[in-house]
Amino acid sequence: MPSGKFRFGLFTFDVVTRELRREHILVHLQSQPAQVLGCLIERAGQVVSREELRNAVWGSGTFVDFDRGLNFCITQIRSALGDDSAGPTFIQTLPKRGYQFIAPVERIPDPAAEAPAAEPKTVTGKSSGKALVLWLTAAVVVCGVLAFAAKSRFGFGQALKDPPVVAVLRFDNQTSNPDLTLFSDALTDTVVEQLTAQSNGRFSVIGNAQILRLPRDQRDLSTIATTLHASYVVLGQVQANGDQTRVLAHLIRLPEQKHVWVARMDRSLSDQLSVQSEVARKIAAELSPRVTADADHSTSQPSASH
């Protein structure tokens, strides 16, 4: 059976486990973006239509905001790979046709499948006794290591905690202009992209879960914390401010729902795309270090006794 691992540039990707690595270091990629990346890599050099990706990842019987979901996946993949849609190295967008993985891809051979089977050796006499002693010694050592690891993990607590999860809710268009809903939605996706790019593995970012796209009056931060295991949420607002537009991004710690930071910017939307990118970068630049510092502070605090 051919290997499911591929190499391209500094990256490797396993289509079975959906693990993306850069020079052996794991790169965080959510499930659906990883599935899309796997589809593109397996058909590297070919144009894969949006409809084909929909059937492969979501299935024809699933009713979701497919266009938004796929756009989010491509954005996440490009962020993980450090790719640029304007001058792509890995994924090229072909308008009205689909996407093409353009980087050279090499399938990594499976060493287990290619290694010749070792011929069995017959051990007799004294050699048999020595071999038995070696096997028993090795077994004792392995059991001791496993017991110590289990004790360390469950007896003394997990030494290395998982990085905190930041959930980005849909930015609210609080102006009287319905046309700015497209801007606020696009800003949401770009903030997710920028936070992911600036996290450097210190925290994870979720932005495509359906619970995060609900209208403001239907949101339940406690449910978001429980369902997504989120430690923080980003609540965004787009407001009218005279002849300018104000963008607010609130960083809130869960489950206590305590404000950690608020980023605020006033901009003219003469060029929405440029403003969207600039504002998202500034929001991520302000919030990323706050998440890290607050998470480190919270972890170092002693637990309250009851």
Local confidence pLDDT in tens for the 306 residues of the chain: 567 899 999 999 999 999 999 988 999 888 889 999 999 999 999 999 999 998 888 876 655 567 788 888 899 999 889 898 888 999 999 988 999 999 999 998 876 655 565 555 555 555 556 666 677 777 766 666 666 655 555 444 443 467 899 999 999 999 988 988 989 988 998 898 899 888 888 898 998 788 898 888 888 999 999 988 999 999 999 999 888 999 999 999 999 999 999 999 999 988 888 888 899 999 999 999 999 898 887 766 654 433
- Cα 247 from chain centroid? 25
Are 208 and 72 in contact, with CB atoms under 8 Å apart?
yes
Tokens (6 digits) for 78? 């490009």
| Predicted pLDDT at 57 | 85
| Predicted pLDDT at 13 | 95
Helical H segments across the chain, by residue range:
31-42, 50-57, 66-81, 111-114, 125-150, 180-199, 221-228, 272-300
Residue among 36, 244, 95 nearest 85 (CA): 95
Please enumerate in sequence order all residues whose Cβ is within 8 A of that of 110, keeping only pairs 6 or more positions apart, or say none.
1, 2, 3, 5
Residue 55 CA to residue 81 CA, distance in Å, equals 24
Residue 94 CA to residue 31 CA, distance in Å, equals 24
Are 258 and 297 in contact, with CB atoms under 8 Å apart?
no
Query: For the chain, which domains are there?
Result: 5-107 (1.10.10.10), 165-299 (3.40.50.10070)
| Predicted pLDDT at 295 | 84
- Which DSSP state fits 168? E
| Identity at 272, one-letter amino acid code | Q
Tokens (6 digits) for 192? 């997710």
| Predicted pLDDT at 157 | 41
Question: Can you give the pTM of this predicted structure?
Answer: 0.52
Task: Report phi then psi at 8, rounded to 5.
Answer: -150, 125
Other C-beta atoms closer than 10 Å to the C-beta of 103 total 17
Q: How far is CA 121 from CA 127, 134, 137, 170, in A?
A: 11, 16, 20, 65
Residue 97 CA to residue 50 CA, distance in Å, equals 7
Residue among 65, 69, 8 nearest 38 (CA): 8
Query: 287: helix, coil or strand?
Result: helix
Please enumerate in sequence order all residues whose Cβ is within 8 A of that of 111, keeping only pairs 6 or more positions apart, or say none.
none
